[in-house]
Structure formats: C-alpha cells, structure tokens
Amino acid sequence: MTKYYKIWIILLSLLFVTICPITAHISLAYDGTVNNNVKIYSVYDNNGHFLFDRDEVEVGDEYISPELIKYEIYAVSEKNSRAYAKQIDSITLPDVTISPRPSQVSSSKQIALYMSHNDESYIVGDGVDSIYGAGGIHDVASALKGSLERLGVNVYLYENMHIPHDSYAYSRSRVTAKSALAEHDLDAIFDIHRDGASRKTYVVDSNGEKCKVRIVIGKGNESYSENLKLATYMLAVARNYHPWLFLDIYMGKGHYNQDLSPCALLFEMGSHMVEKSLVEKSVPALAEVINVTLFGTTLHDDESIMIGSSSDADRTVSDVLNNPITEEHFTLEWYNIVLLSICGVGILVGTYLVFHEFYSKKHGMKKLVDTIKGK
C-alpha cells in the first residue's frame, strides 16, 4: 500500500501545481513623490537645449520627443528645479496606409475612464489648480466620454474618489480599475489626468489654439511593451488625422496600474495653466484618434498598420493587443492539456490501486462485501 499511496500523493500534488499556477503578484502602487504646490521642473538635454517641463520628474524616467528621439533623465536638481536628459535612442513609428474599405472594422467597442487624482483642476475654469473632491478633471473626462459615445463607443466613466492626492492614490484607484475590468469586457482603460506644466508646453496654434495631450506609461509594469505599442500606434494614426494632438510620450518609473491591461494608458489633458475650456475643445480630436486606432486600424505581419482593412481576416489593434496569438501560446496550451490528461489518468489508477490494496491485504474481499452489506 505504501508504494501506491506515495505515487498517488505525488500525482495529486503535480495536478494541483498544474491547474493552480501562481499568477498573482504583489505590487505596491507607489508612484513617486507628490508635488502639492505644483513645482515644475524644466528638462534640458546635454547641450543645454530645453526639452519640456513637468511637475514629476525622477532619475531613470524616459521621454520620447515629438521628433521621436528617446531620452533618459540622468540628473535632477531640486535646488533650481532643473533636470537633465541624455539621448539614448530614436524610435520609428509604424508605416500607415489607408484602405479604401470602410475604416470601421470593429463593432463591439468598450472603454473605461477613471481619475486616480480626482482633485486635479484648471486655474482658468475652476479658479484653483486642485479641489479636495471632484476637480475639473472630472469635467474633462466627462467630455471625453461624450465624444467617444458619439463615435459609437460604449464608455464606462468611473468617478470614484481616490483622494487625497498622495503617494498611495494609485493604490486606491487600482481597486476602481480592477472593478472596471471585472465588470466589463473592456478593450481599453484610460486614467485621465492634467499635468503640472507651463501653458506654452501644451498650447499650440493650429488653425486656432489647441491643447495637446501627453501620454504617460509606467516602466515598472509587465504590460509596458504592449502599452508602448498602443501609444506609438496612436501617434502614427494622429499624424494622419490631427498632427498637433500629442505632445510626447513620458515613461515614468511607476506602473500607474497599467499592468492590469495591455491597453491601459494615462492621458495628461493639458496642464493646470491651460484654460479648461480649451482642453475640452481638444477632446473630440483625442476621441477620434482613440476610436480609429483601437477599432478602425488593423495590423500587418511587417508591423505596419492600416487604417481600415484589406480583408475580413484582418485584426484590429484592440484585438491583437488584448488577444495575442503566438506559437508559444499554442505550445503551452497543448503542454498543459497533455500534462493534465496524464495526471488525471494517473490519479484514477492510483486511487483504484490504493483502494484495492487496502481492502485486499488488510480486510480481504469478503470483509469488503460484508462491510457493504452491513454485517
């Protein structure tokens, strides 16, 4: 009995390990210090040329400029509110073609919006840069919701409070983001913010004043690669629709809860120095780029993208990022099926042998029959 019993226990343990993989991970949502007084850092390259300004800057953060040059911040001076960045790479946006076929190739479209920093507001429009409660950023998020809905997107706006605006606001908003993803079959989830920067950083004159949008991605999350792909797809699409729209891509050390989805981004909707009404005027352009990128753009094997599709088999950006199909995926899937089958058969055989040996050697078959009959 001892021999069969040990085999049975080993197989049972192996089955448990196979069907119960440890997928959970502990992630503390600390995303840097908070500058409640909107302290703005000016960032310069090695030659002393001004690059951009921003209220939260740390050594190791990265930045992709409008010229598609990638920089890394290597020094931050608290004394004079300056930071310095070195060029480390350059990126190339995917080639974009426009199909004569209808550009809308996806009909099921679901997006969630939420605000980790509910207090963020606009001096011109709200009177202050921060409100303890629902600040002006809620109005901007609501405007984005309306613009997306007019394009046929189902939008779930979560106005849950995550105040105060401290180091653990992202821990509180993580609960909201996880709830949104659990409640709906989302294509994407966006955290809506406003930046701390000068007005000139965001405002551009393109047939009238418009407010740009900064995309922020957390380097410290497991979906970073997919998040960055989505951001670059949006940049590529925007150049065909609204070339002025995006300011840049900023990659901070935190994760900003973007590990929860391959299609999670943080949008900085202007800064506290930009008029809220001007920010809201630019929202329809962002909504259009989001809609076209996620639901009206297809990917090709050569990494190029097509606005529209060339065949019914083409897959949208949303579909590819949310449902990747890889050879490794199929290999792992078959491996699990075979392993589960072997374990299942082994446990059945082991259970039978243990049962048979127990009653054969210790009690005998006659004893078993008497036991069943209640004798």
Query: Is residue 78 assigned to a domain?
Result: no
Is residue 129 domain-shared with residue 14, that is, in the same domain? no
Is residue 251 domain-shared with residue 115, that is, in the same domain? yes
Query: Is residue 353 assigned to a domain?
Result: yes
How many structural domains is the chain composed of?
2
Query: Is residue 286 assigned to a domain?
Result: yes
Is residue 259 domain-shared with residue 317, that is, in the same domain? yes
Is residue 313 domain-shared with residue 345, that is, in the same domain? no
Segments in 242-316 forming alpha helices (H): 276-295
Is residue 129 domain-shared with residue 267, that is, in the same domain? yes
Is residue 365 domain-shared with residue 247, that is, in the same domain? no
CATH number of the domain enclosing 305 = 3.40.630.40
Q: Are 272 and 123 in contact (CB under 8 A)?
A: yes
Query: Is residue 336 assigned to a domain?
Result: yes
User: How confident is the prediction along the chain (375 residues), in pLDDT tens digits per residue?
Assistant: 555 555 556 555 555 444 444 333 333 333 333 344 578 999 999 999 999 999 999 999 999 999 999 999 999 999 999 999 999 999 999 999 988 765 556 668 999 999 999 999 999 999 999 999 999 999 999 999 999 999 999 999 999 999 999 989 999 999 999 999 999 999 999 999 999 999 999 999 988 999 999 999 999 899 999 999 999 999 999 999 999 999 999 999 889 999 999 999 999 999 999 999 999 999 999 999 999 999 999 988 888 899 887 776 788 899 999 988 764 444 444 455 555 667 465 566 555 554 555 555 555 555 544 555 555
If one counts every other C-beta atom within 10 angstroms of the C-beta of residue 320, the result is 18
Is residue 308 domain-shared with residue 334, that is, in the same domain? no
Is residue 104 domain-shared with residue 242, that is, in the same domain? yes
Query: What is this structure's pTM?
Result: 0.77
Dist. CA 59–CA 73, nearest whole Å = 5
Query: Is residue 173 assigned to a domain?
Result: yes
151 three-class SS: coil
Is residue 99 domain-shared with residue 134, that is, in the same domain? yes
Task: Classify residue 76 by burial, with Cβ atoms within 10 Å: 0-12, 13-18, 19+.
Answer: middle
Q: Domain range holding 225?
A: 90-322
